[in-house]
């Protein structure tokens, strides 16, 4: 089965090019060089007429995923904006200083997203948690309790190919629980995509290279 390829787009111009090339779903962000932050409101508004599902990254700044009250408030306003203009979903995550999922913050943000009917992806904060030493089983239990639709992850490794065995464990845990989709992302290329899919059984994959859309 051909996986759904979500294209990570750095701004509205990249999103339009991706749709023209055949993208079926977009993750919209800004400043991809630092891992991405929330795009400008003007870009969010412009995505309403792209004709494909758009998930917006909700991340107030570069750096870690431990957020202040003011940053959580900003994230809430950005989620509300995405809901009010009728986009498909949001991509979010928050951690404690000890590298665990910040359950109270994530629960509140996800509840807000659900109130607007938004899809929710838990982003690569999961990889920072894994790198901090949080066990896969513990981390998956925490994220699955939140009810997110998918988890975007490289398996705690620098790229999804290197982390494919961990991603496979995460995907198996999610399948057993009847929970969310585990979506490999990070360093995915046309060359390593077949091995990632074989190892993980992924039905969705995330990448920033438009060549992923080209016929093999």
Q: Which residue has the tokens 């920072």?
A: 128
Q: Which has the closest alpha carbon to 137: 102, 163, 170? A: 170
Query: Count of CB atoms within 10 A of residue 91's CB?
Result: 26
The pLDDT value given to residue 213:
60
The pLDDT value given to residue 102:
97
Q: Which residues contact 89 (CB under 8 A, 6 or more apart)?
A: 53, 54, 55, 56, 82, 113, 118, 119, 120, 121, 149
The pLDDT value given to residue 177:
85
* Residues 14-73: tens digit of each pLDDT: 999 999 988 999 999 999 888 899 999 999 999 999 999 999 999 999 999 999 999 999
End-to-end CA distance of the chain, in Å?
13
Count CA atoms within 13 Å of residue 176 on its CB side: 9
**Residues in the chain, overall count:** 216
**Which tokens hold the place of 100?**
């665990």
Class of residue 147 by CB neighbours under 10 A (exposed 0-12, middle 13-18, buried 19+): middle
The pLDDT value given to residue 179:
78
**Which tokens hold the place of 162?**
């290197």
Strand partners, 26: 7, 54
**Which tokens hold the place of 60?**
């107030």
Task: Quote the DSSP letter at residue 211.
Answer: G
Q: How many helices (H) and strands (E) does the chain have?
A: 8, 8
Mean pLDDT by 10 residues, the chain (216 residues): 90 93 94 92 94 97 96 98 97 95 97 98 95 90 94 96 97 89 94 95 89 58
Report CA dihedral (127, 53, 42, 19) to the nearest 10 degrees.
100
The pLDDT value given to residue 35:
86
**Which tokens hold the place of 174?**
């999610």
- What mean pLDDT is reported for the chain? 93
DSSP letter string, 4-41: EEEEEEESHHHHHHHHHHT-SEEEEEB-GGGT-BPPPH
Q: In this structure, is the dihedral angle defined by the CA atoms of residues 56, 60, 61 and 64, taken in order, positive or negative?
A: negative
């Amino acid at each position: 089965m051909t996986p759904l390829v979500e294209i990570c787009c750095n701004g509205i111009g990249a999103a339009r090019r991706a749709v023209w090339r055949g993208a079926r779903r977009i993750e919209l962000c800004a400043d991809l060089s630092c891992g991405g932050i929330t795009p400008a409101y003007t870009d969010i508004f412009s995505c309403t007429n792209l004709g494909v599902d758009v998930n917006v990254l909700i991340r107030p700044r570069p750096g870690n995923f431990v957020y202040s009250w003011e940053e959580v408030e900003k994230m809430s306003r950005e989620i509300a904006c995405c809901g009010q203009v009728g986009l498909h979903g949001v991509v979010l995550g928050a951690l404690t200083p000890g590298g665990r999922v910040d359950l109270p913050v994530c629960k509140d943000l996800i509840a807000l997203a659900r109130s607007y009917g938004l899809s929710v992806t838990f982003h690569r904060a999961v990889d920072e948690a894994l790198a901090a030493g949080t066990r896969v089983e513990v981390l998956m239990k925490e994220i699955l309790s939140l009810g997110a639709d998918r988890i975007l992850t490289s398996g705690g490794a620098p790229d999804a190919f290197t982390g494919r065995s961990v991603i496979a464990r995460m995907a198996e845990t999610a399948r057993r629980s009847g929970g969310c989709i585990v979506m490999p992302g990070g360093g995915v290329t046309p060359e390593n995509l077949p091995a990632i899919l074989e190892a993980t059984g992924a039905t969705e994959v995330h990448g920033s290279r438009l060549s992923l859309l080209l016929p093999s």
